[in-house]
Amino acid sequence: MRPDLIAFCASVVFLGISLAVTQQKEAAAKVSKSDPSVYAELNKVPEKARVRRNPMETDPDAVAAGRNLFERHCAECHGDTAEGGRKAPSLRAEEVQNSTAGAIFWILSNGVVRRGMPVWSKLPEPQRWQLVTYIKSLGVRLTQPANPSLPKADLTPLTAPASPPH
């Protein structure tokens, strides 16, 4: 067989294999976004954690601060608008938006390691609550992209107020 014919055949085989692998990866990504088991971890949150209230839910700056944290830590996997990406599902999905703030906080704190969700317990608790506030705010705009015009918030970790001197 001629060397140029061998090279051509090898190229065609390589191209075919590459296309097949790409299609499998794309199909897997689509399935994972629409697969309800992606959100099953939300149903496994302990009741004690599920009923926790978000201390930041009325903080007017928490959504903007949470958005900044999201951009820094979460957008790479969940997408810039939290609609899901190749690595992680949409946070705008009904399963997430209908979950309690406590359940979302628990998932952030404990991760879902076997699905690639890291544990964020080293992120200060107030910042995790800011993330929860931002994620819950996405439900208000389920049909609209995240509002990029929100002001950027100061990401200085929040601390408890100092006790007054006695």
Q: What is the mean pLDDT of residues 60-78?
A: 95
Per residue in 8-41, pLDDT tens?
A: 666 655 555 665 555 555 544 443 455 667 899 9
H, E, C per residue of 4-63: HHHHHHHHHHHHHHHHHHHHHHHHHHHHHHHCHHHHHHHHHCCHHHHCCCCCCCCCCCHH
C-beta of residue 54 within 8 angstroms of C-beta of residue 101: yes
Residue 67, domain CATH: 1.10.760.10
pLDDT number for residue 80: 94
Residue 163, domain member (yes or no):
no
Tokens of 142: 């389920």
Other residues' Cβ atoms within 10 Å of the Cβ of residue 21: 10
How far apart are the C-alpha atoms of 128 and 92, rounded to whole Å?
A: 17
Q: What is the mean pLDDT of residues 102-124?
A: 94
Q: At residue 47, what is the residue type?
A: E
* Global pTM exceeds 0.75: no
Question: Would you call 116 helix, strand, or coil by DSSP?
Answer: coil
pLDDT number for residue 2: 74
Name the domain count of the chain: 2
C-beta of residue 89 within 8 angstroms of C-beta of residue 39: yes
Model confidence at 152, pLDDT cuts 50, 70, 90, reads very low
The answer to whether residues 103 and 24 belong to one domain is no
Residue 90, domain member (yes or no):
yes
Residue 165, domain member (yes or no):
no
The answer to whether residues 15 and 44 belong to one domain is no
Residue 30, domain member (yes or no):
yes
Model confidence at 115, pLDDT cuts 50, 70, 90, reads confident
The answer to whether residues 30 and 42 belong to one domain is no
Q: Give the residue numbers spanning the domain of 141.
A: 36-155
pLDDT number for residue 143: 44
Q: 156: exposed, middle or buried (C-beta count within 10 Å: 0-12, 13-18, 19+)?
A: exposed
Residue 162, domain member (yes or no):
no
Phi-psi map region of 116: left, alpha, beta (phi>0 left; psi -120 to 50 alpha): left
